[in-house]
Amino acid sequence: MSRRFAYYGSTGVAILFDVWMDGSDLTTITKDGSDFVSIWDDKGINTLSYAQGSTINQPLYLTTGNPRLSFDGSNDRLIASSFNKTDSEGLYFFVFKYDSSKSNNRLFSQGGNPFYRFSFRTSQTGGGGTADKFALLVRDTNSIHGAGNNIFETTTSLVNGNTYVIACYNEGGVVKMRINGVQDTVNNPVGTYTDIWHSFVVTMGAESYFAFCSSGYGKQQISEMRYKSGTLTLSEIQSVETELMSKYTIP
């Protein structure tokens, strides 16, 4: 495997990623002759592996256009071992081709308390978020924040078939999101929230690792995901975004 713990952006400063899933690096992909993926290895510090032993639940590796793992929205999912985080701040970078054909669309999730997921709501509005928005949902039963669902979502709508680089991070207890290198206004219902980065997302393409239902799967095509504990400066965030947008030919 071509393992790289650091990325040197335009700032010339090393950025160490805790988790780095790189769909363009075939040395991290284990697939069969029909291109169904059983293992996706991590290039980051924690050396995780997202895996799926059952062929019927494996995503398909696509190379037409940008390399990516295609999840069918019915039963595909990859699962990694969980590791607890004590970070009150952290950053996720996602690269994916947006598919609006499924209304209840999961991308990544972490079960437990608090439970949270990164997802999309394409044709639904109301309690689960707004149509065609990237969203972080937190379901917390702790008395700190009260019971119920808290939705952090972008103001900018996503367009079906487009590829996006999204940065989502917790800075000083405030959830922030950037779309293709541009800061977006986040609908933030609770003001500050620090619990959500205490565990890492361990399920890719579905609701959670312990309970699945027909509405809990995501129909998306994922090229890359990176996670960094702590904080980055704005110039460092922009250097990662610039590299990803160039790598996946995003204007």
Q: What is the pLDDT of residue 83?
A: 59
Percent of the chain with pLDDT over 70: 65
More confident residue, 191 or 231: 231
| Residue 1 is assigned to a structural domain of this protein | no
Residue 133, domain member (yes or no): yes
Domain count within the chain: 1
Angstrom distance (rounded) from CA 6 to CA 8: 7
Q: Residue 95 above 90 pLDDT?
A: yes
Q: What pLDDT is stored for residue 125 in this prediction?
A: 41
3-state secondary structure 97-160: ECCCCCCEEEEEEECCCCEEEEEEECCCCCCCCCECEEEEEEECCCCCCCCCEEEEEECCCCCC
111 vs 240, residue with greater confidence: 240
Q: Show the domain range for 100.
A: 6-247
- Closest of 52, 126, 64, 102 to residue 219, by C-alpha: 102
Q: How confident is the model at residue 69 (pLDDT cuts 50, 70, 90)?
A: very high
Mean pLDDT of the chain: 77
* CATH for 98: 2.60.120.200
Q: Which amino acid is at 220?
A: Q
Averaged pLDDT for residues 160-175? 86
Query: Is 40 a member of any domain?
Result: yes
**Does 82 reside within a domain?**
yes
Range with lowest mean pLDDT among 125-129, 195-199, 220-224, 245-249: 125-129
- Please tell me the pTM assigned to this model: 0.84
- Please tell me which residue, 248 or 9, carries the higher pLDDT value: 248
Query: Which single residue is written with the structure tokens 């999730």?
Result: 109
Q: Residue 124 above 50 pLDDT?
A: no
Band of pLDDT at residue 245, cut at 50, 70 and 90: very high
Inside any domain, residue 10: yes
Task: Quote the pLDDT of residue 116.
Answer: 56
Percent of the chain with pLDDT over 90: 31
pLDDT tens string 34-44: 999 999 999 88
The residue type found at 165 is V
Which distant-in-sequence residues (6+ apart) come within 8 Å of 174 by Cβ?
188, 191, 192, 193
* Mean local confidence (pLDDT), 28-53: 92
